[in-house]
Amino acid sequence: MDFKKMLANNHVKPYLLKARYGIEKESQRVDLSGNLAKTDHPKSISIRDEHPYIQRDFSETQMELITPVTETLKELFDYLAAIHDIACRSMGDNEMLWPLSMPPQLPKKDEDIVIAKLKSVENVRYRQSLSHLYGRRKQMICGIHFNFEFGDELIQALFNIQSEIKDYRQFKEEIYLKVTRNYLHYRWIVTYFYGTSPNSEENFFEEDSLKRAVRSIRSSKYGFTNSDDVKVSYSSIQNYLSDLSLMIKRGLLLEEKELYAPMRLRGGHHVSDLANHGVHYIELRNLDLNPFETYGISYKQSEFLHLFLIYLLWKDEGNNCDEWVKLGDLYNDAVALEHPLEHTQFEIDAKKIIDEMEHVVEILDLSISDTLFVHLRDMLMDPSKTLAGRLYKESEKSSQSKVATYIAKENYKKSWDKPYQLTGFTDMELSTQILMSDCLQQGIQVEVLDRQDQFLKLQLKDHVEYVKNGNMTSKDSYVSSLIMENKTVTKKILQQHEFRVPKGEEFQTIEQALRSYDLFSTKPFVVKPKSTNYGLGISIFKEGSNYEDYQKAITLAFKEDSSILLEEFIKGTEYRFFVLNDKVYAVLLRIPANVKGDGKHTIEELVIQKNSNPLRGRDHRTPLESIQLGELENLMLKGQGYQMDSIPENDEIIYLRENSNISTGGDSIDVTDQIPDEYKKIAVDAVSALGVEICGIDLIIENTEVPAANKNAYGIIEANFNPSMYMHIYPYKGKSRRLTMNIIHYLFPELLQSQESKVVKLGVPLAKCESTTVT
Amino acid sequence: MDFKKMLANNHVKPYLLKARYGIEKESQRVDLSGNLAKTDHPKSISIRDEHPYIQRDFSETQMELITPVTETLKELFDYLAAIHDIACRSMGDNEMLWPLSMPPQLPKKDEDIVIAKLKSVENVRYRQSLSHLYGRRKQMICGIHFNFEFGDELIQALFNIQSEIKDYRQFKEEIYLKVTRNYLHYRWIVTYFYGTSPNSEENFFEEDSLKRAVRSIRSSKYGFTNSDDVKVSYSSIQNYLSDLSLMIKRGLLLEEKELYAPMRLRGGHHVSDLANHGVHYIELRNLDLNPFETYGISYKQSEFLHLFLIYLLWKDEGNNCDEWVKLGDLYNDAVALEHPLEHTQFEIDAKKIIDEMEHVVEILDLSISDTLFVHLRDMLMDPSKTLAGRLYKESEKSSQSKVATYIAKENYKKSWDKPYQLTGFTDMELSTQILMSDCLQQGIQVEVLDRQDQFLKLQLKDHVEYVKNGNMTSKDSYVSSLIMENKTVTKKILQQHEFRVPKGEEFQTIEQALRSYDLFSTKPFVVKPKSTNYGLGISIFKEGSNYEDYQKAITLAFKEDSSILLEEFIKGTEYRFFVLNDKVYAVLLRIPANVKGDGKHTIEELVIQKNSNPLRGRDHRTPLESIQLGELENLMLKGQGYQMDSIPENDEIIYLRENSNISTGGDSIDVTDQIPDEYKKIAVDAVSALGVEICGIDLIIENTEVPAANKNAYGIIEANFNPSMYMHIYPYKGKSRRLTMNIIHYLFPELLQSQESKVVKLGVPLAKCESTTVT
CA distance B763 to B328: 46
pLDDT tens, A709-751? 998 899 999 999 999 999 999 999 999 999 999 999 999 999 9
The predicted pLDDT at position A368 comes to 84
CA distance B598 to B609: 12
- The mean predicted confidence, pLDDT, of chain B is 91
Query: How many Å from the N-terminal Cα to the C-terminal Cα in chain A?
Result: 72
pLDDT, mean of residues B637-652: 93
pLDDT, mean of residues A318-344: 95
Gyration radius (Cα) of chain A, Å: 32
pLDDT tens, B22-78? 999 999 999 999 999 999 999 989 767 889 999 999 999 999 999 999 999 999 999
- The fourth-level CATH superfamily of domain B573-738 is ATP-grasp fold, B domain (3.30.470.20)
CA angle B41, B43, B49 (to 5 degrees): 65
CA distance A314 to A16: 11
Torsions phi, psi for B259 (to 5 deg): -70, 110
pLDDT band at B227 (very low <50, low <70, confident <90, very high): confident
- The fourth-level CATH superfamily of domain B504-568 is ATP-grasp fold, A domain (3.30.1490.20)
Interface test with chain B among A72, A478, A561, by most B beta carbons within 10 Å:
A478
CA distance B630 to B665: 12
Provide CB contacts within 8 A for A79, sequence distance 6+.
A67, A68, A70, A424
Q: Is the pLDDT reported for residue B619 higher than 90? A: no
Task: Give residue A714's Cα distance to chain centre.
Answer: 42
CA-nearest of A699, A482, A749, A479 to A589 is: A699
Provide CB contacts within 8 A for A279, sequence distance 6+.
A172, A173, A176, A177, A237, A265, A266, A267
Q: Which residue has the higher pLDDT, A269 or A144?
A: A144
Q: Choose the closest CB to A473 out of B452, B457, B479.
A: B479
CA-nearest of A205, A187, A51, A68 to A136 is: A205
Beta bridge partners of A382: none
Q: Is the pLDDT reported for residue A338 higher than 70? A: yes
Please state the pTM of the whole predicted model.
0.90
Provide CB contacts within 8 A for B314, sequence distance 6+.
B3, B4, B7, B360, B364
- Chain B, residues 701-730, CB within 8 A of chain A, namely 721
Q: Are A556 and A535 in contact (CB under 8 A)?
A: no
Count of C-beta atoms within a 10 Å radius of residue A110: 12
C-alpha pair distances (Å), B264 with each of A253, A397, A627, B267: 99, 104, 62, 10
- Give SS3 for B507: strand
Given CB atoms, is B481 within the 8 Å cutoff of chain A?
yes
pLDDT band at A622 (very low <50, low <70, confident <90, very high): confident
CA distance B420 to chain A (A): 25
CA distance A490 to A721: 11
pLDDT tens, A232-250? 999 999 999 999 999 999 9
pLDDT band at B533 (very low <50, low <70, confident <90, very high): low
The predicted pLDDT at position A32 comes to 96
CA distance B108 to B201: 12
The continuous run of DSSP H or E covering A266 comes out as strand A263-266
pLDDT band at B538 (very low <50, low <70, confident <90, very high): confident
pLDDT tens, A185-203? 999 999 999 999 999 998 8
The predicted pLDDT at position B761 comes to 47
CA distance B750 to B757: 10
Provide CB contacts within 8 A for B377, sequence distance 6+.
B351, B354
Q: Choose the closest CB to B478 out of A453, A481, A488.
A: A481
One-letter amino acid of A34? G
One-letter amino acid of B279? V
Q: Choose the closest CB to B476 out of A14, A478, A493.
A: A478
Provide CB contacts within 8 A for B679, sequence distance 6+.
B575, B577, B699, B701, B704, B708, B714
Beta bridge partners of B467: B456
The predicted pLDDT at position A533 comes to 62
Task: Give residue A18's Cα distance to chain centre.
Answer: 23
The predicted pLDDT at position A90 comes to 94
Q: Are B283 and B240 in contact (CB under 8 A)?
A: no
Query: How many Å from the N-terminal Cα to the C-terminal Cα in chain B?
Result: 72
Q: Choose the closest CB to A472 out of B455, B482, B721.
A: B482
CA distance A555 to A511: 10
Q: What is the DSSP string of B126-144?
A: HHHHHHHHH-HHHHT---E
Contact A477 B480 (CB under 8 A): no
Q: Are B68 and B77 in contact (CB under 8 A)?
A: no
Q: Is the pLDDT reported for residue B762 higher than 50? A: no
What percentage of chain B exceeds 70 in pLDDT?
A: 96
The predicted pLDDT at position B532 comes to 63
pLDDT, mean of residues A620-625: 86
pLDDT band at A534 (very low <50, low <70, confident <90, very high): low
pLDDT tens, B573-588? 999 999 999 999 999 9
CA distance B337 to B340: 8
Give residue limits of the domains in chain A.
3-225+260-417, 503-568, 595-659
The predicted pLDDT at position A762 comes to 46
The predicted pLDDT at position A235 comes to 94
Q: Is the pLDDT reported for residue B758 higher than 70? A: no
Contact A452 B479 (CB under 8 A): no
Q: Are A435 and A470 in contact (CB under 8 A)?
A: yes
The predicted pLDDT at position A518 comes to 84
Greatest distance between any 2 Cα atoms in chain B: 98
The predicted pLDDT at position A400 comes to 96
CA-nearest of A560, A516, A522, A555 to A541 is: A522
Lowest mean pLDDT among B185-199, B458-472, B557-571, B674-688: B557-571
Residues of B in contact with A13 (CB under 8 A): 518
pLDDT tens, A409-435? 999 999 998 889 999 999 999 999 999
* Burial label, B729 (beta-carbon count in 10 A; 0-12, 13-18, 19+): buried
CA-nearest of A659, A579, A586, A669 to A624 is: A669
pLDDT tens, A537-581? 888 898 888 999 999 999 999 998 889 989 999 989 999 999 999
CA distance A161 to A163: 7
Q: Are B284 and B148 in contact (CB under 8 A)?
A: yes
pLDDT, mean of residues A24-48: 93
CA-nearest of B592, B580, B578, B532 to B556 is: B532
Torsions phi, psi for A401 (to 5 deg): -65, -40
The predicted pLDDT at position A773 comes to 33
The predicted pLDDT at position A639 comes to 87
Contact A478 B483 (CB under 8 A): no
CA dihedral B317→B322→B325→B326, nearest 10 degrees, is: -140
Number of helices (H) and strands (E) in chain A: give both, helices first: 28, 23
The predicted pLDDT at position B660 comes to 82
CA distance A548 to A522: 14
Beta bridge partners of B26: B64
CA distance B456 to chain A (A): 9
The predicted pLDDT at position A761 comes to 47
Q: Choose the closest CB to B472 out of A13, A15, A482.
A: A482
pLDDT, mean of residues A33-39: 96
Residues of A in contact with B474 (CB under 8 A): 477-480, 691
ipTM, two decimals:
0.88
pLDDT tens, B341-370? 999 999 999 999 999 999 999 999 898 888
Q: What is the DSSP string of A335-359?
A: HHTS-TTSPPTTHHHHHHHHHHHHH
CA-nearest of A700, A669, A696 to A684 is: A696
CA distance A736 to A501: 30
Provide CB contacts within 8 A for B246, sequence distance 6+.
none
C-alpha pair distances (Å), B10 with each of A563, A566, B14, B359: 28, 20, 7, 17
Report domain A3-225+260-417's class. alpha beta
Beta bridge partners of B590: B668
Q: Is the pLDDT reported for residue B693 higher than 70? A: yes
Count of C-beta atoms within a 10 Å radius of residue B410: 12
Contact B489 A15 (CB under 8 A): no
CA distance A756 to A759: 7
pLDDT band at B464 (very low <50, low <70, confident <90, very high): very high
pLDDT, mean of residues A9-33: 95
Q: Are B520 and B545 in contact (CB under 8 A)?
A: yes
Q: Is the pLDDT reported for residue B613 higher than 70? A: yes
- Give SS3 for A366: coil
pLDDT tens, A278-300? 999 999 999 999 999 999 999 99
The predicted pLDDT at position A436 comes to 97
Number of helices (H) and strands (E) in chain B: give both, helices first: 28, 23
Given CB atoms, is A483 within the 8 Å cutoff of chain B?
yes
Provide CB contacts within 8 A for B425, sequence distance 6+.
B78, B82, B432, B433, B436, B448
CA distance B61 to B51: 16
pLDDT, mean of residues A10-15: 90
- For A475, the closest chain B residue by CA position comes to B477
pLDDT tens, B149-183? 999 999 999 999 999 999 999 999 999 999 999 99
Evaluated on CA atoms A129, A133, A136, A140, the torsion sign reads negative
Lowest mean pLDDT among A101-105, A631-635, B408-412: A631-635
pLDDT band at A775 (very low <50, low <70, confident <90, very high): very low
What percentage of chain A exceeds 70 in pLDDT?
A: 96
pLDDT band at A260 (very low <50, low <70, confident <90, very high): confident
Q: Are A263 and A284 in contact (CB under 8 A)?
A: yes
Q: Is the pLDDT reported for residue B505 higher than 90? A: no
pLDDT tens, A125-184? 999 988 888 889 999 999 999 999 999 999 999 999 999 999 999 999 999 999 999 999
CA distance B313 to B150: 11
Cβ contacts below 8 Å, chain A against chain B, sum to 106
pLDDT, mean of residues B631-638: 89
- The mean predicted confidence, pLDDT, of chain A is 91
CATH code, residues A503-568: 3.30.1490.20
